[in-house]
Amino acid sequence: MDEMPNDYKTAGILMLVAGCINLILVGIWQRSFLCLCFPAWITALTALGEIAVGGMILSGSKVPQAKLVSIAGIVGGLLSLSMMAVGLEVFATITLGKPEVEEYLNS
């Protein structure tokens, strides 16, 4: 299976959008409350990871750890209190778990 499945591309787009939402919300939280606490930094780092992996997926790279990054994005979305980002990440995780995508990543 040489061609990238559409579900894999969809997961990359979802991860990219969710990462941007998380990063924006963390920036707002940190600026408005001067919150430099641990969960804010963890959320920012997971958001950057989501953006990086989403970009790698869209550029055509195989990222076997994409599902793990998506699950970390769910935790980051919960810490930033963003239900939209959590929903996108859950959908990305479900999409990455489809048999076609797993077969593509394992080939």
* Domain coordinates in residue numbering, the chain: 6-106
**What pLDDT does 93 receive?**
94
Q: What does R_g of the chain's alpha carbons equal in angstroms?
A: 14
Q: Could you state, in chain order, the average pLDDT of each consecutive group of 10 residues for the chain (107 residues)?
A: 84 93 84 70 87 93 92 88 91 94 90
CB 29 within 8 A of CB 107: no
Mean predicted lDDT score pLDDT of the chain? 88
**What pLDDT does 25 receive?**
85
pTM of the model: 0.86
Residue in the block written with tokens 């195989």: 62
CB 104 within 8 A of CB 8: yes
